Amino acid sequence: MMRILHVADVHLGASYSSFGAHAAERSEAVLRAFRGLPEVAQEHGVHAVVVAGDLFDVPRPEERIAAEAREVFRRMLEVVPHVFLVPGNHDPVVIPGPYGDLPAAAHVFTAPTPSEPVHVETEAGPLTVYGFAFDFAHDPDPLGGLRRSEVEGVHVALVHGAVRDAPHWSGGDSLRLTRDQLGGFGVDYIALGDYHRFRPPEEFANDGSVPACYAGSFAAVDHTEAGPRGVVLAEVAAGTVPKVRLLPADVAPVQALPDVDVSTCADDLEVVERIAERVAVGALPVVTLAGQTEFAIDPERVEAGLLARFPFARVRDRTRYYDSKRLAELTERDDVVGHLARLGLTRIRDAADDDEIGLRERALRKALRAMGVS
């Protein structure tokens, strides 16, 4: 059984602007984790490493980033002599460019179309790797040129592109793939890059007819990329369905907490507590608050409360306050607040769409808070 470390979408040098003040810290954390890849490969007795594109976030990253990559691959080659890379849509091959500066022993597929595969002898047997540097200008549909070699051993295709049925299918200059195409390669493993969520072969076909796998992003590039991220350890043997396992990178993952019901919370502080007790150690919460609250939640305060505990947090408020008993009580008051509550509710109910409802509820909460009503 051949063990292949499948890396993709590291996006070295990304701005991480979505993480706000945490961006710089996160950038360093990703670099730190990336530096540890050779040790990961060694620990798992990897026979070959494949990088399925978007190693860099831009074609010409800062020299500091390029130097980090060179050093990591230099050390990687000391551990695993067989390293293969294809560029992605974010980091197409340019001259001069970071791919050209990688150690020569790391094989970078720079041809724009599939050419002759690379055959190597690994400790686990012969390995044949197919890859190419997709170039829309050269050939928008180069996959017809991918022909399986008759050489014995494990055959691996290295492709950076968007599978047509992937949720983020967008077209553009990305390579477009279909499951049928993937299944038709006839190789033992298809290491995919571009799609940022880990997607094992079972998600392509239950019967194992499409041995493809998206490794997903190495670490969340923005706060919408929730869940564990890292690299894939694929155990591949000729003619069998590959077994894949996600090895999480040592970078704080974004933990999505959708629909945290805060109906029973009495104030913002309690909301913060409720969220905090659900956040895994080391994770960065991205929370959507839900439920029917009896007070006007201030998502900014909640977020500020979370930021006091976590390096990054994002709070989206989907709670319904305007149907609460508390608000109904307020509408009974014969004072400005009563008028405010009634008028606010009327405006919410007159809103044309959900966005407008959200805005008007937000306005009502702001108004009530400004009036000192908790």
Partner 1 sequence: MSPPRLRSIELEYGCHSGRFDLPDRGRPVVISGRNGSGKTTLLEAFLRTLYGFSRRKPEERRLLELRRPWSGRPAEAEVRLIAADGTRVVVRRNFTTDEVVATAEQSALELFRGDGNPAGVRSQSRHYQDLLRDWIGFGDLEPYRGTAWIAQGELVETKLDDELLRAAAGTHRRVEVALTELRDAFEALTREPIELGGRRKNRAREVENLQDAVDDMVRRLDVARASREKKRPLLERTGEIRRKLEGVEREIELLEAAYRPITERRTLVAERREAESRLSALSDAVRWLGETAGALARAEAEAAAAGVGGRYPEDFEARIGQAEVLWDRLDALTRQRAEAVGTGPGSSSGVPVAALPGLAAIFAGALVAVAWSVAIGSVLAVSGLILGAALLWRARSADAGSEVKRARRAEDELARIRSRLGEIEKDVPQPSLTPASMEEHRLRFRGQSAADAGVRRARERHLEATERAESLLEHSSGAGEPGEGGEAFRRLEEEREVARTALARIQLRLEEQPAAPVLPDGVEPTVPAVETAREERRERRRHLTEELNRLDLEIRDMDRAFEDVFALERELAGLREKARDAQCEAVAGRYAWELVRDAYEEFRSTDQARLLSAINLRMRQISGGRLGPVETAGDLSAAQVGLDGRMMALDSPPLSFGEKHASLLAIRLGTADFLAGGDGTRHPLLIDEPFTHLDEVRSREVWELLEDLASARQVIITTQDRLVLQHLGIEADIDLAVPTPGDDDSVERRPDAERSVPRSGGRALVPHEDHRDAEEAGPSPTPPPPVQEQLELG
The alpha carbon of residue 162 and the mean position of all alpha carbons in its chain are separated, in whole angstroms, by: 14
- The H or E element containing residue 191 is strand 189-193
Of 32, 147, 164, 339, the one binding partner 1 by CB under 8 A: 339
* Candidate segments 38-46, 123-131, 133-141, 247-255, binder of partner 1 by CB under 8 A: 133-141
Distance CA 348, CA 362 (A): 10
Q: Which residue(s) pair with 127 in the sheet? A: 120, 154
**# chain residues binding partner 1, by CB under 8 A:** 42
Of 123, 343, 350, 374, the one binding partner 1 by CB under 8 A: 343
Residue 349 interacts with partner 1 (CB under 8 A)?
A: no
Residue 222 interacts with partner 1 (CB under 8 A)?
A: yes
Residue 352 interacts with partner 1 (CB under 8 A)?
A: no
* Residue 1, C-beta contacts closer than 8 angstroms, at least 6 positions apart: 124, 235, 236, 237
Residue 360 interacts with partner 1 (CB under 8 A)?
A: yes
* Candidate segments 77-85, 198-206, 261-269, 333-341, binder of partner 1 by CB under 8 A: 333-341
- The H or E element containing residue 159 is strand 154-160
Residue 138 interacts with partner 1 (CB under 8 A)?
A: yes
Of 344, 350, 353, 354, the one binding partner 1 by CB under 8 A: 344
201 prior amide bond cis, ω within 30: no
* Candidate segments 71-79, 259-267, 318-326, 357-365, binder of partner 1 by CB under 8 A: 357-365
Q: First CA to last CA across the chain, in angstroms?
A: 63
Residues 49-78 that bind partner 1 (CB under 8 A): 57-60
**Rounded to the nearest whole angstrom, what is the least distance from the CB of residue 61 to partner 1 in the complex?**
10
Residues 82-111 that bind partner 1 (CB under 8 A): 89-90, 94-95, 111
**Rounded to the nearest whole angstrom, what is the least distance from the CB of residue 364 to partner 1 in the complex?**
6
Distance CA 184, CA 148 (A): 10
**Rounded to the nearest whole angstrom, what is the least distance from the CB of residue 286 to partner 1 in the complex?**
13
285 prior amide bond cis, ω within 30: no
Residue 366 interacts with partner 1 (CB under 8 A)?
A: yes
Residue 21 interacts with partner 1 (CB under 8 A)?
A: no
Structure tokens at 86: 């294809």
CB 283 within 8 A of CB 252: yes
Structure tokens at 215: 């490794």
φ, ψ for residue 308 (rounded to 5)?
A: -75, -15
The alpha carbon of residue 161 and the mean position of all alpha carbons in its chain are separated, in whole angstroms, by: 15
CB 190 within 8 A of CB 211: yes
Of 277, 332, 334, 354, the one binding partner 1 by CB under 8 A: 334
Positions in the binding site for partner 1 (CB under 8 A): 15, 17-18, 57-60, 89-90, 94-95, 111-112, 115, 135, 137-139, 222, 333-340, 342-344, 347, 359-360, 362-367, 370-372
